[in-house]
Amino acid sequence: MGRRLISAMTTPVLLLPAAGVLALMVIIPLAVLVWFSFAPDGPAAPLSFDSYARLFGTGLYLHLALKTLITAGAASLVTAALAWSPAWVLSRLPGRARNPILLAIIIPYLTSYLLLIYSIFVVLGPGSPVMEFLRLLGLAKPGASILYSQPATLVMLVYENLPLMIFVLFSGMQRVDANFLAAAASLGASRWHRLRHIVFPLASPSLASGLIMVFVPMGGAFVESAILGGPHGLLLGNVIADQMTRADDPSFGSALSILLLLGMLAITGVVGGLRPALEWLSAERKARHATPA
């Protein structure tokens, strides 16, 4: 009896610390954020919708939120596209050759992002190798640079998050059994078919989680756009940071944060739901193929 009670209690008791941390770090701050957003005149004053009225009173902030989500989304997709091939090559390498490369990839990820931002100045500035190359191709005027513009922010976000994306994709691709590919090849499947029907389906869970993992910090980014984005490259994160500090308006900042949070939840929900939907679709098609005409 006693033993059964103990074994029944083990799981809830062991979960307690985690639940406590979750409450302390996630639920309480989130509740405070919601509360602040309804308390524009300080915690003592009666609650009101003023902050939200201001938010929706102009199209400005919705437009900026949309721009932020599009920037983060585009940067996530570019990151994934750039990370795909290196991750695949790494996953096919023997361990001895792989580890030094993995180490080299992780170094920028361990470097302070502020340092990375300032190093981008050298790479993208006027007269830099990149701009000289673009000039030779006739794509840039002499002395031009893409600093202080939206593309500079995008380049920075991709640069910062590329190592993480490579790692996530790599760990998924490692599980793709080489025998499947050999078998498919022997049955006459082309490179494209093998990618389309074996590698992609097996790696897609890690692609989805990689996209979400880089999209979330990109959506909240503000330092990158403040330093590199120029006057037209600001993101919602910049406005939120300003409201929390200089403008001393935590209520409006909280309302904006909630807007951003809801937007990101919607998008990550869609990305997370994409895979089950695709699986269901392909299962459907297979079933149709299987049915004799």
Partner 1 sequence: MASKINRRSFARILGAGLLAVPTIARSQGTSPSFKGQTLVVASWQNYGADDAGTLKQFEQLTGATVKNVYFTSEDDLLVMLRQGGIGKIDVVLPNLEYVQPAAVESLLQPIDTSRIKAWDTLEPRFRNDPSIRQDGKVYAVPWVQGATSLAVNPDVHPTPTSWSVLWDPANKGKVAFFDDPSTAVMTAALYLGEDPQNPDLEKVRAALLALKANVKLFWSSGDDWNKAYTTGEITMGNLWSGLAGTLRANGHQVNFILPDDGTVVWGDTWAIVKNAPHLDLAYAWVNWLTSKEYFVEWITKPGPNQELAVPVNIAAIDALPKSAADSLLAGPLIEYKGKVALQTGIPPKQLKKWTQMWEEVKAS
Binding stretches for partner 1 (CB under 8 A): 58, 60-61, 64, 121, 125-127, 143, 145, 147-148, 226-227, 230-232, 234, 238-239, 242-243, 245-249
Residue with smaller CB distance to partner 1, 100 or 231: 231
Closer by beta carbon to partner 1, 224 or else 249: 249
Nearer to partner 1, 76 or 225 (CB): 225
C-beta of 65 vs 75, nearer to partner 1: 65
- Find the shortest distance in angstroms from Cβ 219 to partner 1: 16
Cβ closest to partner 1, residue 64 vs residue 169: 64
Helix axes 60-92, 50-57, angle to 10 degrees: 80
For the CB of residue 39, give the shortest distance to partner 1 in the complex, in Å: 16
Q: E-assigned strands of the chain?
A: none
**In sequence order, what DSSP letters do the residues of 52-116 get, joined into one string?**
HHHHHHSSHHHHHHHHHHHHHHHHHHHHHHHHHHHHHHHHHS-HHHHHHHHHHHHHHHHS-HHHH
Two tokens at 257? 């944060």
CB 37 to partner 1: min, Å = 16
Give the whole-angstrom CA distance, residue 290 versus residue 287: 5
The overall longest dimension of the chain from CA atoms, in Å, is 83
Structure tokens at 62: 């919705």
Q: Tell me if residue 175 falls in helix, strand or coil.
A: coil
CB of 263 to partner 1, least distance (A): 16
CB of 44 to partner 1, least distance (A): 15
